[in-house]
Amino acid sequence: MKALITGASRGLGLALAGALDREGWELVLDARDGSALEKAAPAGSTVVVGDVADPAHRAALVAAASGLDLLVNNAGTLGVTPLPALSGYPLDALEHAFAVNTLGPLALIQGVLPVLRERRGAIVNISSDAAREPYEGWGGYGASKAALEQLSNVLAAEEPQVAVWCVDPGEMRTAMLAAAGEDAEAAPRPEDVAVPALLRLVAERLPSGRYTASGLVR
């Protein structure tokens, strides 16, 4: 089995890569921080360094993903920090957030869909409760994730032979949560809830749809 995980140099992406590696998966891993990814990636992984907003980088990922069974769109950006109100959100920064959080994942999906159809594979799009809840300051990030969720909904309807899961992992002890000004140390590690939830999705091949990590962990 082969998986492509974006944003795999730290946090949820790295933790999931480790878990799948222990289960014998072949891995293609992506991140912007090449040195961190090279140090952290499980031995034997294919490492492709770059930004999912870059078409050339996405093409390299698709080329490395022959025989793919699972795509995990985990790479993301908060956008501007400290998180600003929408009234003053720089539109160029918002455009980049959508490029990373929404358009990059869709472009990767388009690139690997032929092989996923053939192999009856699966897609995991990592979302957030900010896609549905009106948290002050989270408008830019939340809007990009809300768009990703709707893309997931429509894709599931259009591609019945491919499992399409949109997953809200909940708060996690990650650098991203800390960068948002939240108490990351009080949150569970990705290994505690989010990773077991994703492993259950893959192992049981649950129906396409939106899931929360807390709702998946028994």
CATH label of the domain that carries residue 103: 3.40.50.720
What is the reported pTM? 0.95
Per-residue pLDDT at 175 exceeds 90: no
Per-residue pLDDT at 2 exceeds 90: yes
Domain count, the chain: 1
pLDDT of res. 78: 93
pLDDT of res. 141: 96
pLDDT of res. 29: 97
Please tell me which residue in 89, 135, 141, 211 is annotated as part of the active site: 141
Please confirm, yes or no, whether 89 is among the known catalytic residues: no
**Domain range spanning residue 145?**
2-216
Per-residue pLDDT at 66 exceeds 90: yes
DSSP structure string for 168-199: E--S-SSHHHHHTTS-GGGSPPTTTTHHHHHH
> Which residue in 72, 79, 48, 65 sits closest to 2, CA to CA?
65
